[in-house]
Amino acid sequence: MILKLALNGLKKKQRDYAILFTGLIISIAVFYMFLTLSLNKEFILQNSVINNIQLVFLVGTVMLSVITFFYLFYTNSFLLSLRKKEYGLYELIGAKKLQIRRVFQIETMAITGISLIIGLILGIILSRVVSWVLMNQLNIGFIQFKVVYLPAVFWTVIYYLVTSFITSSIHNLWLAKISIIELLRSEIQNDLLPEKPKNAALMIFLGLFLLAIGYVALYFMETLRFIGLFTAPIATTLGTYVLFVALLPIIVRKWKRNKKVNFKGINSFTSGQLNFRLSSLKWVLATIALLIALSAGAIAGGFAFKNDAFTSIDEHWQYDATLYNPGAAEMAVLDSIPVEEQLTYRMKLDDEFIYLVLDELNAAPPLIRDMVTYEVVRPDPLPEELEIEGGSQIVSDQWFTALYAINPALGGTKSTRIVPLEEYELAEGEEISIVLARTADFSAHIEEWQKLDELQMDIYPDLVTGFDPETDSVATKYAQFKTQYAIASGTFFMGFFLGLAFLTMMASILMFKILSGANNDIRRYDSLRKLGVRRRVLENSLSRELFIVFLFPGILGLLHVFVGMRMFTFIMDEPYYRLWVSILIFLAIYGGYYFFTIHLYRKIVLPKQ
């Protein structure tokens, strides 16, 4: 009976539920996709490149599950707030507390169940799409990849059911304690007068101070390490909350004090709305700012990672191709691209040593990156006589790097001997030629590098003992790039979808909060219409009001990102590279939510006649 009533009540608030649960559905879909990508067992065994990506997605899963927990907790409390009054009425007509509590729990679990079904279907589609895109980008086949992967389904279902059980149980305890009067009254309390902020100056100062600490910790993360890792999120979060709580009411107050502006047109209404809205939403808005920081940060982080695959590979490899015994096929490929510099060295291998020709090296020293100054230089000429200590020749640090660049595949296997030409001629062993080639832009000729690597695959088995073409990869810039790029692409997708999930969660919280207040506004807009305010003017007022509401968390969230991206300097070279692209992507999605909210709001408060 009560359950039937409750179901009806649920139907009436469909719109609010739909908004709340889009966030949940997207979270489930992304969670499932991450899990499928990281758990597919046969797939891991098959592919060494993929191995690395999977760890990335596992990290993503953990991050998503933490935020999802808080999101579920939050939405569950909204859920309760939507139904409080109704539950109060049930109790009034004689339903027992226990019955009501059971209804609430069933409702929550049912909604989670429905979201799980939709989310999993969406997740399967998403895995299909993402794996397909990754496959194409990385030029590898996802042979054993299963889009519908039962362990992933299992863990997704378990995680979401358990989490919503926990959160609804917590709220259930609260429901048990609350009195019937409070339940019935809860809807009226919506419009509290905005209170005068106490100790506002002190609070603002404290907020700024905390933010400053957080930012310093973010900025000097590299030196602060663990201290920074803990201080940054805590201080930034606290700072954000304190600042929003203290600052928002003050801003509107200041605004209203400018009477010239306030008493112009409909401004007094708009600022009045904002005054109430900002002070009732300050906590939510602070949360939104943090979620924005996380989502934009995730998107930008993934993006920067992907770019880093290109920039960091150029840091470490000055030459784009390193070819052992190149044949006509290899040379044809090199001829087809604009090579800026091409160097050839000879090398002999006997049982003990790798021999290189001193004169050849001095005649054409390769470019290297100096490990101390970080500049790209050619090493100074080698002396005629090289000392030998403990069985190996002593060379300068620069030449040490250069020798590795010349002979990346074999350099570490045997001791190297740099000898004059006459001595080299006398040495035993087969001669191997090495060709280094450099172009202006490594990323412009990816296909050629790949072709060269394939050709070298035939040569390596004779060259390197125990080389297995099935599992091992050649020691080239491209091979390293490929691994790096796979991880980076994985991180990019992970970041993007993580960001998207955070963003939908934040948008659903914000939209829910704004739209659930809309019903109170219907009367206000109707009064204004009666008083003779044009529809356009009302529409503008509404857009402006919501713009401000969206603006504040947007600004602070992005500021967090600008500062926070620096944190990544300890794993990549240019975390800020093309940050604007990610910011634009973020703004497009966020803006989309803004316009969608306005649209829904207008439909509620300004119905067409």
Partner 1 sequence: MKTILQANKISKTYGKKGTAKYTAINNLSFEMKEGEFIGIMGPSGSGKTTLLNMVATLDPLTDGEITIDGISVSSMNEDQLSDFRSQNLGFIFQDFNLLENMTVFENIALPLSLQNKKLDKIQSSVHQVASLLGIGDITEKYPAELSGGQKQRTAIARALIHEPTLLLADEPTGALDSQNAATLLDTLVDLNEERKVSILMVTHDPRSASYCSRLLFIKDGKLDRELFPSGTRDEFHQEILAVLGDLDRIPLAGVRS
Residues of this chain that interact with partner 1 (CB under 8 A) are 191, 193, 259-260, 262-269, 272-273, 275-276, 523-524, 527-536, 609
Smaller CB separation from partner 1, 83 or 277? 277
Q: Extract the tokens encoding 203.
A: 């609070």
Q: What are phi and psi of 530, to 5 degrees?
A: -65, -35
Please give the torsion angle defined by the CA atoms of residues 544, 549, 552 and 557, in that order, rounded to the nearest 10 degrees: -130
**Among candidate residues 258, 57, 83, 71, the one with its CA nearest the CA of residue 178:** 83
Q: What are phi and psi of 342, to 5 degrees?
A: -135, 125
CA 175, chain centre distance (Å): 37
CA distance readout (Å), 426 to 201, 295, 362, 385, 514: 85, 65, 20, 18, 85
Report in angstroms how near the CB of residue 607 gets to partner 1 at its nearest.
13
d(CA 217, CA 208): 14
Smaller CB separation from partner 1, 270 or 287? 270
d(CA 329, CA 232): 55
Report in angstroms how near the CB of residue 28 gets to partner 1 at its nearest.
38
Smaller CB separation from partner 1, 31 or 601? 601
Half-sphere CA count of 287, side-chain side, radius 13 A: 17
Q: Which residues of 275-291 are buried (b: 16+ CB within 10 A; e: fewer)?
A: bbbbbbbbebbbbbbbb
d(CA 54, CA 35): 9
d(CA 607, CA 538): 12
**Among candidate residues 357, 351, 344, the one with its CA nearest the CA of residue 426:** 357
Smaller CB separation from partner 1, 4 or 260? 260
Report in angstroms how near the CB of residue 283 gets to partner 1 at its nearest.
19
Measured over the CA atoms of residue 325, residue 327, residue 329 and residue 332, the dihedral's sign is positive
Q: Which residues does 30 contact at the CB level (< 8 Å), separation at least 6?
A: 64, 123, 126, 497, 498, 500, 501
d(CA 307, CA 65): 27
d(CA 486, CA 484): 5
Report in angstroms how near the CB of residue 276 gets to partner 1 at its nearest.
5
Start-to-end CA span in the chain (Å): 38
Q: Which residues does 125 contact at the CB level (< 8 Å), separation at least 6?
A: none
Which helix (H) or strand (E) is 417 found in, with range? strand 415-419
Report in angstroms how near the CB of residue 552 gets to partner 1 at its nearest.
18
Report in angstroms how near the CB of residue 521 gets to partner 1 at its nearest.
9
Angle between helices 477-516 and 97-138 (to 10 degrees): 150
Q: Extract the tokens encoding 401.
A: 């790097």
d(CA 478, CA 13): 56
Report in angstroms how near the CB of residue 277 gets to partner 1 at its nearest.
8
